[in-house]
Amino acid sequence: MTKALQEEKIKKDLFDKLCVEYKDDVIVFEWKGRWEYRKGEKAHLSRFNREFDIARFHRTSDKLVSPLLIGYEVKGMRRRKVGNNLRFYEPTWGTGLDQIEAYLKQNVDYAYLVTVKRKLTSENNDLVGTVKARKCVGLTFVEEINGELKFKEIVKPSKRNQNANYGLKITNLVAISLNERGCKDIQRQEWARKGEFATLTWLGDRC
């Protein structure tokens, strides 16, 4: 495994990939929280309990839940200095699952753990089994092939998070669409600014 699998590079490549694949979605990169304004007070950033590595709002035809919110937690290689050398290490097995649980409490409909594929097949299989037991969670493995990062979805969520608060989800979407200072980058969409949260026709309700 090489430095190409560092966490920051994986996050940026995944963000770019999602922006190409989902051109109609609002996609937020490194989202810390929403700016709040109260009469007589200075605007301030209300931080999430856990920052989103990437969050994606995807419109569907179901007005009761649309847009769907999908959170992506990314785990890549970590750098560590040993003497005068830099070495790269796999993330500890299961790293990121606690952040996934936080995402589910932050009103995502689905959450994905995106992590480097491990050297040991048994460890990969154990992670697949663990993720499958969480119905609202998906798993994507990342590999470096011929110098490029390849993302492969291994587990697709089978159930929407029934505890997601629709009102708070919309509040956060509107806030980040109107004031983008709570994130590092964003793919904007006019439908979010206009409050057109559902599609008029079915476009394929995929997450």
Query: 100-118: per-residue pLDDT in tens?
Result: 999 999 999 999 999 999 9
Number of other residues whose CB lies within 10 A of the CB of residue 76: 22
pLDDT of residue 203: 46
- Flag whether pLDDT at 40 surpasses 80: no
pLDDT averaged over the chain?
91
DSSP summary character for residue 92: P
pLDDT of residue 24: 97
38 lies in which domain range? 3-194
Q: Is residue 203 in some structural domain?
A: no
Q: Is residue 201 in some structural domain?
A: no
Burial class (CB in 10 A: 0-12, 13-18, 19+), 60: buried
Domain total of the chain: 1
Q: Is residue 200 in some structural domain?
A: no
Q: Is residue 176 in some structural domain?
A: yes
pLDDT of residue 205: 47
pLDDT of residue 207: 56
Q: Is residue 204 in some structural domain?
A: no
Percent of the chain, pLDDT > 70?
95
Under 8 Å between Cβ of 16 and 29: no
Distance CA 31, CA 186 (A): 9
Q: Is residue 207 in some structural domain?
A: no
pLDDT of residue 201: 55
Q: Is residue 43 in some structural domain?
A: yes
Say which range, 34-48, 87-101, 131-145, has the weakest mean pLDDT.
Answer: 34-48
Task: List, as own/partner pairs, every contact residues 164-167 make where C-beta atoms lie below 8 angstroms and the sequence separation is at least 24, other chains included.
Answer: 164/65, 164/69, 164/104, 164/107, 164/108, 164/109, 165/107, 166/64, 166/65, 166/107
Q: Is residue 144 in some structural domain?
A: yes
Task: Give the pLDDT band (50/70/90) at residue 2.
Answer: low
